[in-house]
């Protein structure tokens, strides 16, 4: 039987978007083995009810825990926002880390004027988890939450730069960053949280439509740092210096997972490295 420190880190997302988090984990912890599950059959989570997201999230967690993991990363913002407590309750023996708190911490560090915009899926914004996490650190913060569901489709489609994503970004973000005259003198956010796995791919288009001084926060790197510290604290970091392995699981269409996943990960994924699972 494997020593606990030698077990892989489990990561799940509703699809391939969480590979942006996997990439950050891999960069921060090159020696760790990682097993990634993308629940592509049931994507998107961001438009589903809280009840359904909890059910799907708990099933994904159970699949990874069944295979033997030492820590579970919920890379999906929607599942982190809605299902984190249920996942912790269902798995008391395994540390569970989501992306919302690390993202909120990074936003609070970045913001000087305490006006923070959060963009995410409909369910993430409606659940208010980012708003609560930011207020827990900065009670005075003014938070503008805004759902941007079309960004998910654009990122999946690979339409991440040029006129179309910039027009969509301007339509979503102008009311927050360039309010029409006559709407008083609202404080313009100096920080924008990309509260969805897919949005980092659109960061260049987003950057082109927000004021140049805006800090764009992506929770992937902060989440990787949180995981690194937690493993260190629990003495669970993998000994040795050889490169860690990555295994991929998907609930639907292996070739599509490999194809679109390669774009999110930034390196090719071989179809032979992806296993089809039924939850």
Catalytic, 108? Answer: no
For tokens 């669970």, the residue is: 236
Which tokens hold the place of 70?
Answer: 């030492």
Catalytic residue among 60, 108, 148, 196: 196
**Residues in touch with ligand DGL (CB under 6 A):** 13-15, 17, 43-46, 76-78, 121, 124, 152, 196-198
Which tokens hold the place of 17?
Answer: 């978007």
Which residue, 43 or 143, has its beta carbon nearer to ligand DGL? 43
Query: Smallest distance, Å, CB 193 to ligand DGL?
Result: 12
Which residue, 7 or 72, has its beta carbon nearer to ligand DGL? 72
Q: How many angstroms separate the CA atoms of 75 and 22, rounded? A: 8
Closest CA relative to residue 221, chosen from 29, 24, 22: 24
3-class SS at 145?
A: strand
Query: Smallest distance, Å, CB 190 to ligand DGL?
Result: 23
Is 266 exposed, middle or buried (CB count within 10 Å of its CB: 0-12, 13-18, 19+)? exposed
Query: Smallest distance, Å, CB 119 to ligand DGL?
Result: 11
Query: Smallest distance, Å, CB 123 to ligand DGL?
Result: 8
Q: What DSSP line would sit under 66-102, residue for residue?
A: HH--SEEEE--HHHHHHHHHHHHHH-TTS-EEESHHH
Which residue, 13 or 218, has its beta carbon nearer to ligand DGL? 13
DSSP 187: P
For tokens 């708990």, the residue is: 58
Catalytic residue among 76, 108, 148, 243: 76
Closest CA relative to residue 198, chosen from 84, 78, 25: 78
Q: How many angstroms separate the CA atoms of 144 and 199, rounded? A: 17
Give the residue closest to ligand DGL by C-beta.
46
Which residue, 193 or 196, has its beta carbon nearer to ligand DGL? 196
Query: Smallest distance, Å, CB 215 to ligand DGL?
Result: 20
Which residue, 190 or 264, has its beta carbon nearer to ligand DGL? 264
Catalytic, 196? Answer: yes
Displacement of CA 89 from its chain's centroid (Å) = 21
Q: How many angstroms separate the CA atoms of 150 and 13, rounded? A: 18
Residue numbers annotated as active site: 76, 196
């Amino acid at each position: 039987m494997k020593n606990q420190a030698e077990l892989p880190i489990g990561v799940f997302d509703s699809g391939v978007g969480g590979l942006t988090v996997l990439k950050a984990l891999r960069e921060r912890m090159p020696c760790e083995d990682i097993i990634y599950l993308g629940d592509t059959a049931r994507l998107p989570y961001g438009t589903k009810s809280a009840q359904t997201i909890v059910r799907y999230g708990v099933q994904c967690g159970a699949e990874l825990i069944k295979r033997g993991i030492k820590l579970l990363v919920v890379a999906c913002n929607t599942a982190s926002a809605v299902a984190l407590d249920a996942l912790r309750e269902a798995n008391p023996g395994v540390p569970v880390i989501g992306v919302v708190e690390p993202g909120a911490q990074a936003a609070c560090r970045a913001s000087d004027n305490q006006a923070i915009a959060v963009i995410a899926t409909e369910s993430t914004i409606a659940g208010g988890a980012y708003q609560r996490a930011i207020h827990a650190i900065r009670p005075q913060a003014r938070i503008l939450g805004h759902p941007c569901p079309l960004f998910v489709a654009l990122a999946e489609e690979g339409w991440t730069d040029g006129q179309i994503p910039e027009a969509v970004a301007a339509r979503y973000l102008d009311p927050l960053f360039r309010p029409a005259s006559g709407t008083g003198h609202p404080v313009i956010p100096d920080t924008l949280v990309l509260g969805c796995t897919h949005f980092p791919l659109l960061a260049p288009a987003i950057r082109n439509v927000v004021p140049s001084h805006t800090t764009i926060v992506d929770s992937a790197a902060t989440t990787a740092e949180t995981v690194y510290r937690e493993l260190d604290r629990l003495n669970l970091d993998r000994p040795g210096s050889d490169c860690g392995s990555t295994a991929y699981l998907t609930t639907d269409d292996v070739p599509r997972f490999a194809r679109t996943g390669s774009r999110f990960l930034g390196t090719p994924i071989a179809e032979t490295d992806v296993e089809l699972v039924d939850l």
